[in-house]
Structure 1
Amino acid sequence: MAGAYLIGLIVMAVSWYVQWRLKSKFKEYSEVGLRIGLSGKEIAEKMLYDNGIYDVRVQSVEGTLTDHYNPQDKTVNLSPDVFYGRSVAAAAVSAHEVGHAVQHATAYSWLQFRSKMVPVLTVSSRYMSWIILAGILLLNTTPIPLTIGVVLFALTTLFSFITLPVEYDASNRALAWIDRQGVVTQAEHGMAADALKWAARTYLVAAIGSLATLLYYVMVLLGRRE
């Protein structure tokens, strides 16, 4: 058990560091003006049109680093700093989110797989924490509740790892497009790649953290049988 706690603390520390680096990188590259002078909104719309996608809207949403693509209503949602920004960071993030829209339009297999898991996880997430808590409290009586909780948490962990190829592919699509279309210079391309690299690492750490938590619950469950 002590080893599980130590791994958990290490994952938390790494997660904090990656989040801090991502925010600092975004702030740094937000201050670097894009030579071509386009805003994040304009870049997103241009990338959509270049990929033959005309039924996706680009809109602004509140918050910082709240950027995402919503496949349900086909919208690319950009935070104000990205939507209105004319920086390297804005170019990288907006193109990355459109990368998800391109995945959706081309039926990218990993995105489809992840989307099919969403309804199941939406339902299970409402009860998973309570089931695990009940399972731990009742462990000396019956292992069934905790076993169910572990299975549900395993689905969450699987979802985290399926997210990784989806995010990395979206970044690769974004970087290839902004380079091919001359949206960025060579130096700007390097900064955009660096920003997206740190963004991807947040998903990687989250997946590892989920796996570490899953292993902890498995150890608790198996420990009951010893």
Structure 2
Amino acid sequence: MPYYYYFDPTYILVIIGAVICLIASAKVKSTFKKFNKVRSMSGMTGAQAAERILHAAGIYDVTVQHISGNLTDHYDPRNKTLSLSDSVYGSASVAAVGVAAHECGHAIQHQQSYAPLTIRSAIVPAANFGSFISWPLIVIGFFITSSTGSLLINIGILCFSLTVLFQIVTLPVEFNASNRAVRILGETGILGEEELRGTRKVLGAAALTYVAGAASAILQLVRLLILSGGRDD
């Protein structure tokens, strides 16, 4: 009987990925909490800063709305809606303004047809389907000892690869949005140079969560490939 029925040493890759994600999550939360206590000198809230940035970029068809939650901020290109969370929408902190500007960066990417964002949007349906179907196929495949089982596993791994691809494509999208945010905040004078240092730290910590997510997905893919190879042997 194959070794993975008894002990799976590759599970260490999953643990490493989980630890990386936990560290990144803790980092962004602590950094945001620190700079959420620093009020911007302009006194503009996240929502007000978002409106000003969008209008400065010539964007008037994006709706800025308030959503519940903490750091649940996002831009939806499907309906051109920029959603800001409880800790960002009405807050005038350096952290809140930075996060709002980051989401505006996505709206500007959409307006300018930024290639990585276009690619990411195009693969969302495939990535969602791959994430949904991959594990059932892989688990069922490992319980079937015939060639059919190997086929199901390989199809499952291929589907999971779409999720990994999405994570990788997300990286340039997020880094570019953060770079745009810092530049725009400086050019518009919404934040001063000293305040921008804090914003860079907040957005830098947020970017690490995407790097951690991609790393975790890649480690999981490597694990699946090792298990699949062990089964074939």
TM-score by length of 1: 0.96
- Asked if residue 147 in structure 1 is aligned to residue 154 in structure 2, the reply is yes
- Asked if residue 7 in structure 1 is aligned to residue 13 in structure 2, the reply is yes
Contact 1:4 1:212 in 2 (8 A): no
- Cα offset, 1:9, TM superposition: 1.8
Instruction: Out of 121-130 and 195-204, give the one that drifted further.
Output: 121-130
| Counterpart AA for 2:72 | T
- Asked if residue 223 in structure 1 is aligned to residue 230 in structure 2, the reply is yes
Distance 1:225 1:80 in 2: 51
In the alignment, which residue of structure 2 is the partner of 1:170?
177
- Asked if residue 156 in structure 1 is aligned to residue 155 in structure 2, the reply is no
Calculate the aligned-residue CA RMSD, in Å: 1.4
- Asked if residue 43 in structure 1 is aligned to residue 49 in structure 2, the reply is yes
Distance 2:193 2:9 in 1: 45
| Counterpart AA for 2:157 | V
In the alignment, which residue of structure 2 is the partner of 1:182?
189
From 187, 198, 217, the equivalent of 1:191 is 198
Identity rate, percent: 36
Distance 1:224 1:110 in 2: 36
- Asked if residue 23 in structure 1 is aligned to residue 29 in structure 2, the reply is yes
Secondary structure at the counterpart of residue 77 of structure 1: strand
| Counterpart AA for 2:182 | L
String of CA shifts for 1:79-128, please: whole Å, max 9, x gaps: 01100000001111000000000000000000000000012223333322
String of CA shifts for 1:20-45, please: whole Å, max 9, x gaps: 11111111111100000000000001
- Cα offset, 1:199, TM superposition: 0.3
Report the number of matched residues: 226
Note the residue ranges of structure 1 that are not aligned, 5 or more in a row: none
- Cα offset, 1:129, TM superposition: 2.0
| Counterpart AA for 1:131 | L
- Cα offset, 1:132, TM superposition: 1.6
Contact 2:70 2:85 in 1 (8 A): yes
Contact 1:139 1:146 in 2 (8 A): no
- Asked if residue 85 in structure 1 is aligned to residue 91 in structure 2, the reply is yes
- Asked if residue 94 in structure 1 is aligned to residue 104 in structure 2, the reply is no
- Cα offset, 1:141, TM superposition: 4.9
Change (3 A) 1:197 1:139: farther
